Structure 1
Amino acid sequence: MSSLATFWAIYGNVVMSLGTNALLALSIWLTLVCGMLSIANAAFMGIGAYAAAILTMNYGAPFSVSLAAGMVAPAIMAAIIGLPTIRLSGVYLAMATLAFGEVVRVIVLNTESITGGALGLNGIPQLTQWWHVLLSVVIVLLVLWRLRASKIGRAFDAIRGDETAASLMGVNVRANKMLAFVLGAAVAGLAGALNAHLTFFIGPNEYGFERAVEILTMTILGGIGGLLGPILGSSIITLLPEVLRGFDSFRLVANGLILVLIVLFLPRGIWDPSRYAQWLHKGGKRRA
């Protein structure tokens, strides 16, 4: 028991970061699986983190209320900015959502009386426990699993395959894109709220371009072919700095390199059920 307590004292935050990063990877998986390249999830995470932390510190709100606010605030913001932006696609949507992230960062920097400005918020109560993170990941996975197996999940796949063809088949493209965008923002906000009550401190630079690229890398690395992909990718990206601790200053370069290599050699990510099925089929033929 003493060795377990020592391990948790040293690596407890890393273990819980595996959970919060899994939520972030799942949040961007929602938009990618619907054919949208959005880079706003870091900003949504920041909105959720600040909303939850401010409620806890300034108004003494219960932790459950703060978590709920951390999900609702970015979801409302996603619904507002989604009206004009979801009409865009590809790199244009990526640029628009990236610009939104910069707008959020500038607003945080210039509202010192509320957000602490460049100094951020310090002394946030450490209310996040391991079971909060685990329960959140399990619930989100169950919801997304049911969503993927439903009519909505099939609509997402159709939109990703061919938006025009999906529209001709009667799929409400705009409504489904908005749903994916808002749900992704809510999940990212939940991750931000949990993380804020885990690390004591949050600042505007934590939710900028570097964080956005990291979240995208997690999901692209794991693959969007299934829910296991984002979990796998987020685990690798979370543990990589611990393995290569001496190269921490090159983390952004490493993330970019990983993204390029995955796109070139594993375009569907590490977890690609169709590729593994083909391997098994070929192996069965050889044995026969």
Structure 2
Amino acid sequence: MDALSAHFDEFWSVYSNLVLSLGINALLALSIWLTLACGLLAMANAAFMGIGAYTAALMTMNYDTPFAASLAGGMIAPAFVALVIGIPVLRLNGVYLAMATLGFGEVVRVVILNTEDLTGGALGLNGIPQLTEWWHVALAVIVVVFVLHRLKVSKVGRAFEAIKADETAASLMGIDVRAHKLLAFVLGGAIAGLAGALNAHLTFFIGPQEYGFDRGVEILTMAILGGTGGIAGPVIGAVFLTLLPEVLRGLSDFRTIVNGLILVVVVLFLPKGLWDPARFRRLFGRREVRPC
């Protein structure tokens, strides 16, 4: 028993950050899945993550707030910003919405860089208390998955599906399209902010380069790769994309190439993602036997 405990302690000391990163990335993938479920190709989640990270870190460092209050602040701040920018921006659709939200992300990065007295500028924030523990991340993922599941099967979730399928038809059915889009955008911002707040209190240091275009593409890739047909898809995609570089670490200089090839193969042969409920029903479901 002591030997097993010693092995676990050794494993946790080496891989604890990786394990917690799985949960944080799952939250990020779920945040963009929520907007995709409403037919919104919004790329502001990396910026919302940064707003949540800096808000929570500054509350802890400058005002010595309790960790729970810092997490709440890390959710409220990006949710409020999402509400403010969502009202004009969500008039756009498709690639135009993606471009506008990418522009917003660049504005957030520039603001962080130019407010050195508050955010540390390009040097970032150092010395953030490492308060995030495994159960914080696990509880956050469980609660978010539960809330999104209840939302998906509710009247609001059905309205999201209708808007995604046909926005005009949904409007003719009496669904307030703009209000539901704004709700998805704000909730997605809050979840991304929660991920940022947890990550800030895990990594000890945050900088503006962590919340740029590359992170935004990574978040979208996790959701698309896992599959947007259900809540399990983004979580599976986040786990896959987080673990893949570690699994390929032994390939040294070829790791990035093999990583890219694997992603291309998955996208080509599994266009609906790793988690596709319809595919599993076809593979494992009972075939109906028709009389001759």
Query: Which range, TM-score by smaller chain?
Result: over 0.9
Paired amino acid for 1:49: A
- Indicate how the Cα distance of structure 1 residues 33 and 256 shifts in structure 2: closer, same or farther if over 3 A, else same: farther
CA-based RMSD: 2.0
Specify the alignment match of 1:2 in structure 2: 6
> Is residue 190 from structure 1 mapped to residue 202 from structure 2 by the alignment?
no
Shift of 1:251: 8.0
Shift of 1:277: 1.1
> Is residue 35 from structure 1 mapped to residue 39 from structure 2 by the alignment?
yes
Tell me the TM-score normalized by structure 2: 0.93
Ranges of 4+ aligned residues in structure 1 off by more than 3 Å: 246-265, 281-285
Distance 1:198 1:45 in 2: 14
Structure 1: tracts of 5 or more residues without a match? none
Equivalent residue in structure 1 for 2:50, among 40, 46, 50: 46
> Is residue 174 from structure 1 mapped to residue 165 from structure 2 by the alignment?
no
Distance 1:133 1:14 in 2: 12
Q: Deviations over 1:245-264 (max 9, x none)?
A: 36788888777766655554
- Indicate how the Cα distance of structure 1 residues 185 and 106 shifts in structure 2: closer, same or farther if over 3 A, else same: same
Q: Deviations over 1:47-91 (max 9, x none)?
A: 000000001011111101100000000000000110111111111
- Indicate how the Cα distance of structure 1 residues 214 and 256 shifts in structure 2: closer, same or farther if over 3 A, else same: farther
Specify the alignment match of 1:140 in structure 2: 144
Distance 1:156 1:273 in 2: 19
Specify the alignment match of 1:20 in structure 2: 24
2:175 partner SS: coil
Paired amino acid for 1:177: K
Equivalent residue in structure 2 for 1:112, among 116, 127, 146: 116
Distance 1:75 1:254 in 2: 37
Aligned length: 286
Specify the alignment match of 2:218 in structure 1: 214
Equivalent residue in structure 1 for 2:86, among 61, 69, 82: 82
Equivalent residue in structure 2 for 1:92, among 96, 112, 117: 96
Distance 2:171 2:257 in 1: 40
Specify the alignment match of 1:226 in structure 2: 230
- Indicate how the Cα distance of structure 1 residues 3 and 25 shifts in structure 2: closer, same or farther if over 3 A, else same: same
Q: Which moved more, 1:248-257 or 1:142-151?
A: 248-257
Paired amino acid for 2:86: G
Percent identity, aligned pairs only, is 68
Paired amino acid for 1:25: A
Distance 1:149 1:219 in 2: 20
> Is residue 70 from structure 1 mapped to residue 74 from structure 2 by the alignment?
yes
Greater C-alpha Rg: 2
Shift of 1:7: 0.4
Conservation of the 8 A alpha-carbon contact between 2:244 and 2:259? no
Specify the alignment match of 1:121 in structure 2: 125
Distance 1:54 1:24 in 2: 21
Distance 1:7 1:115 in 2: 34
